[in-house]
Amino acid sequence: MQTAYAKEELRSMLAPLRGRRLVLVPTMGALHEGHATLLRQARQLAGEDGAVVASIFLNPVQFDNAGDLATYPKTPVQDLEICHACGVDVVFMPSPDTMYCSDRSITMEETHLSTVLCGASRPGHFAGVCLVVSKLFNLVQPTDAVFGKKDYQQLAILRRMVRDMDIPIQIHGAEIVRDADGLALSSRNVRLTPEHRASAPSIRRLLLAARESYAAGQPADDICAVVKRELEMISGVRCDYVELVDAETLHELTSPQRLALLAVAAWFGDVRLIDNIELSRS
């Protein structure tokens, strides 16, 4: 495994790999089993003849909260160990000064999918995501890229970006990885208090109950109201949103025949957790 810290180093390492299947996994570091699953999926996609590139970059441009950026965990030694164990060929670990010019003036913005859910409460977040991912796509020039479904809105937006900008990359979505009690793995989980860590798996339990209610024909508004009410009964919890939407457009579900998504964002103390579940009536 090779590690690049500058763009020139990355280009040099990737030059012998051109012409092969090249799979990119962008991360912000603080890797856990969820990230490892993405890396292993990338390794499988690349096959014996292909290569896997992981980027580890805490992207300041996508943070709308300076405090969240400052407290985001950083575990570079562990991150490299996980990459090595998962068969990554090249790791790109740039600094903000390496990724961004001091006088940068070009932005990337999606104007439909990013106006709802997390985008409604985190202005500029997805513009920052699109900017850094587009830069990584240009630097690595992968054939494929793997992203997790826990960040479902991000995945949908990046698929739209690739489609609208005619970027020749296939986007793959990986299923959510969970702890034994159902809590979706997240780098932010380490910041939960013991009390909130004990109550956080309730999100998953409510999502599973909602899936049964939806399959039984219960109205979307009623399902969302129940999930929100149950969450806010937990001490120290406040909801950002509970929305049942079209899984592709992320806006109002216009037909029960289409795949739906129930998405939740809630604050457990000062830690914001997100989760989701796909719903179907067929």
Q: 10 Å Cβ neighbour count for 249?
A: 16
- Residue 180 located in a structural domain: no
Sheet with 51-56, strands from edge to edge, namely 2-4, 90-92, 51-56, 22-27, 144-148, 170-174
Domain end residue (candidates: 174, 203, 226): 174
Question: Of residues 35, 84, 125, 172, which has the active-site annotation?
Answer: 35
Q: Indicate which CATH number applies to the domain containing 165.
A: 3.40.50.620
Which CATH number goes with the domain that contains 236?
3.30.1300.10
The answer as to whether 43 is a domain residue is: yes
Q: What is the DSSP string of the chain?
A: -EEE-SHHHHHHHHGGGTTS-EEEEEE-S---HHHHHHHHHHHHHHTTTSEEEEEE---GGG-S-HHHHHHS---HHHHHHHHHHTT-SEEE---HHHHS-TT-------SSGGGSTHHHHSTTHHHHHHHHHHHHHHHH--SEEEEEGGGHHHHHHHHHHHHHTT---EEEEEPPPB-TTSPBP-GGGGGS-HHHHHHTTHHHHHHHHHHHHHHTT--HHHHHHHHHHHHHTSTTEEEEEEEEEETTTSS----TTS-EEEEEEEEETTEEEEEEEEE---
117 shares a domain with 44: yes
Within-domain flag for 41 = yes
Query: For the chain, which residues score pLDDT lower than 50?
Result: none
Kindly state whether residues 161 and 198 are assigned to the same domain: no
| Residues 7 and 81 occupy one common structural domain | yes
Is 137 among the domain residues? yes
In terms of domains, do 34 and 169 share one? Answer: yes
Domain identity same for 122 and 156? yes
CB 207 within 8 A of CB 262: yes
Residue 57 corresponds to which amino acid? F
Quote the number of domains for the chain.
2
Domain assignment of residue 179, yes or no:
no
Q: In terms of domains, do 27 and 109 share one?
A: yes
Residue range of the domain that includes 97: 2-174
Asked if residue 193 and residue 168 are part of one domain, the reply reads no
The pLDDT assigned to 68 comes to 86
pLDDT per position as a tens digit, 210-223:
999 999 999 999 99
* Pair 44, 135 in one domain: yes
For residue 33, the model assigns a pLDDT of 96
Assess if residue 47 is contained within a domain: yes
**Do 169 and 203 lie in a common domain?**
no
32 as an active site residue: the answer is no
Give the model's pLDDT for residue 257: 86
Are residue 44 and residue 170 in the same domain, yes or no?
yes
Query: Could you tell me if 216 and 97 lie in one domain?
Result: no
Please check whether residue 209 lies inside any domain of the structure: yes
Q: Are residues 215 and 246 both part of a single domain? A: yes
Are 95 and 60 spatial neighbours (Cβ–Cβ below 8 Å)? no
Digit-coded pLDDT (tens) for 171-223: 999 999 999 999 999 999 999 999 999 999 999 999 999 999 999 999 999 99
Q: Pick the last residue of a domain from 143, 174, 205.
A: 174
Question: pTM of the predicted model, to two decimals?
Answer: 0.95
**Quick check: is 32 in a domain?**
yes
From 174, 199, 215, the end of a domain falls on 174
